């Protein structure tokens, strides 16, 4: 079983077209160091490199003396030590979490204990929909079920600190509780795993939902910020164009899946073997879940049918 504990799925570069986003993989993680990346913003990358987390999870520090930590990161003692080192002599007033995957939220508990800061996020970890009868959640191991935020943020809510203000933007899709945070008065936005420059985001049922994800892309496209600081990888410039390209990329995937089903490919395994044929086979499990996310959406739109609810081993026809 593939455990998608840090979820990202490499896009198949061999099927790239004009509409595809311009993914960038030139990133220097500088492990253990707080790197100044903008006024009032520092980044520390955790050493949890993997096929799903790229070079590791980015933890951000916002502010000067009284600071917010965005995405404390995985339960990793060396990363906690790096954060403690970076915040020495300063006061952490807010611990903010974009979503509850185990590579983003677990250190929130320890930081809260060490600093007394309150935690902020959309809500606890949960699936985007109820599980079907007999359904096993393949993503179960990737969720941090221990994290319960002190403050549950709503869409548009302002989080006000000393010399900085963040606006919470609820962006479900990657997880139901995913939120991005815009740094008010700047061109910057912390995009978590919703939009990243190095890869597409994994959207997989039951924890994620494609219809939510697409609507959350529109939220980003309609905003003014053009520089994103994502949960993994380097800063993303021209972020709105990139978000638009991600949207077309997903639409093309959807069209490709629908066309395979219309041609008689009735299983997810068959569809993955064709659409993702030049993708690393270790990522085929994740690819299957991504196809399932599209299938769930296509079924909801009435474009395809199955003999039961959408499932990884279901049979589909148009
Ligand atoms: Zn994630």
Would the pLDDT of 220 be above 90? yes
CB-based contacts of 8, cutoff 8 Å, min separation 6 = 51, 52, 53, 54, 193, 196, 198, 199, 200, 201, 202, 232
End-of-domain residue from the set 246, 262, 284? 246
Q: What is the pLDDT of residues 238-286, one digit of tens each?
A: 999 999 999 999 999 999 999 999 999 999 999 999 999 988 888 888 8
Beta strands in the chain (DSSP E): 8-9, 35-38, 41-45, 58-62, 66-70, 91-96, 118-121, 151-152, 158-160, 165-170, 179-183, 188-192, 200-201, 227-230, 305-306, 316-317
* Ligand 1 midpoint to CA 215 (Å): 18
Specify the number of domains making up the chain. Answer: 2
Q: Same domain for 280 and 214?
A: no
* Ligand 1 midpoint to CA 201 (Å): 8
Q: Are the C-beta atoms of 8 and 201 separated by less than 8 Å?
A: yes
Residue 308 sits in a domain of what CATH number? 1.10.10.10
Classify residue 291: in a domain, yes or no.
yes
* Ligand 1 midpoint to CA 104 (Å): 7
What is the structure's pLDDT at 28?
87
Q: Same domain for 24 and 153?
A: yes
Confidence of residue 19 (pLDDT cuts 50, 70, 90): low
Q: What is the pLDDT of residues 52-90, one digit of tens each?
A: 788 899 999 999 999 999 999 999 999 999 999 999 999
Domain membership of residue 189 as a residue range: 8-246
What is the structure's pLDDT at 5?
37
Q: Same domain for 150 and 274?
A: no
Would the pLDDT of 153 be above 80? yes
Percent of the chain with pLDDT over 70: 94
What is the structure's pLDDT at 26?
82
End-of-domain residue from the set 246, 261, 283? 246
* Ligand 1 midpoint to CA 202 (Å): 8
What is the structure's pLDDT at 197?
86
Would the pLDDT of 7 be above 80? no
Q: Same domain for 158 and 267?
A: no
Q: Are the C-beta atoms of 107 and 171 separated by less than 8 Å?
A: no
Classify residue 2: in a domain, yes or no.
no
Q: Are the C-beta atoms of 71 and 65 separated by less than 8 Å?
A: no
Span of 11-25, 37-51, 238-252 with lowest mean pLDDT: 11-25
Q: Are the C-beta atoms of 8 and 193 separated by less than 8 Å?
A: yes
* Ligand 1 midpoint to CA 129 (Å): 17
Residue 43 sits in a domain of what CATH number? 3.60.15.10
Backbone angles phi, psi at 50, to 5 degrees: -165, 175
Q: Are the C-beta atoms of 226 and 240 separated by less than 8 Å?
A: yes
Average pLDDT, rounded, for the chain = 92
Q: Are the C-beta atoms of 105 and 71 separated by less than 8 Å?
A: yes
Q: Reduce the DSSP state of residue 257 to 3 states and report it.
A: helix
* Ligand 1 midpoint to CA 263 (Å): 33
Q: Are the C-beta atoms of 174 and 9 separated by less than 8 Å?
A: no
* Ligand 1 midpoint to CA 48 (Å): 13
What is the structure's pLDDT at 24?
84
The structure tokens listed for 68 are 């917010």
Q: Are the C-beta atoms of 8 and 196 separated by less than 8 Å?
A: yes
Distance between CA atoms of residues 174 and 238, nearest Å: 21
Classify residue 1: in a domain, yes or no.
no
Q: Same domain for 54 and 18?
A: yes
Q: Could you give the angle at which helices 239-262 and 268-275 cross, rounded to 10 degrees?
A: 120
* Ligand 1 midpoint to CA 32 (Å): 21
Q: Same domain for 205 and 158?
A: yes
* Ligand 1 midpoint to CA 181 (Å): 15
Would the pLDDT of 310 be above 70? yes
């Amino acid at each position: 079983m593939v455990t998608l504990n840090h979820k990202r799925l490499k896009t198949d570069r061999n099927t790239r077209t004009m509409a595809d986003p311009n993914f960038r993989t030139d990133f220097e993680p500088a492990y253990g160091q707080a790197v100044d990346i903008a006024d009032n913003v520092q980044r520390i990358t955790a050493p949890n490199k993997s096929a799903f987390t790229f070079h590791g999870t980015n933890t951000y520090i916002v502010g000067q003396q009284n600071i917010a930590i965005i995405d404390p990161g995985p339960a990793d003692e060396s990363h906690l030590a790096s954060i403690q080192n970076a915040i020495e002599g300063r006061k952490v007033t807010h611990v903010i979490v974009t979503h509850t995957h185990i590579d983003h939220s677990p250190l929130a508990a320890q930081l809260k204990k060490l600093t007394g800061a309150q935690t902020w996020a959309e809500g606890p970890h949960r699936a985007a929909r109820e599980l079907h009868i007999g359904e096993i959640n393949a993503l179960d191991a990737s969720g941090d079920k221990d994290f319960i935020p002190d403050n549950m943020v709503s869409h548009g809510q302002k989080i006000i600190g000393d010399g900085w203000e963040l606006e919470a933007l609820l962006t479900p899709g990657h997880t139901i509780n995913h939120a991005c945070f815009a740094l008010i008065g700047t061109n910057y936005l912390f995009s978590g795993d919703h939009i990243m420059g190095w890869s597409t985001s994994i959207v997989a049922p039951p924890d994620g939902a494609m219809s939510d994800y697409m609507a959350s892309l529109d939220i980003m496209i309609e905003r003014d910020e053009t520089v994103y600081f994502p949960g993994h990888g380097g800063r993303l410039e021209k972020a709105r164009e990139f978000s638009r390209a991600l949207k077309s990329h997903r639409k093309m995937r959807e069209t490709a899946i629908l066309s395979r089903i219309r041609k008689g490919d009735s299983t997810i395994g068959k569809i993955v073997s064709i659409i993702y044929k030049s993708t690393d086979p270790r990522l085929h499990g994740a690819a299957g879940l991504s196809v399932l996310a599209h299938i769930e959406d296509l079924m909801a739109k009435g474009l395809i049918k199955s003999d039961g609810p959408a499932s990884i081993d279901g049979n589909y026809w148009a």
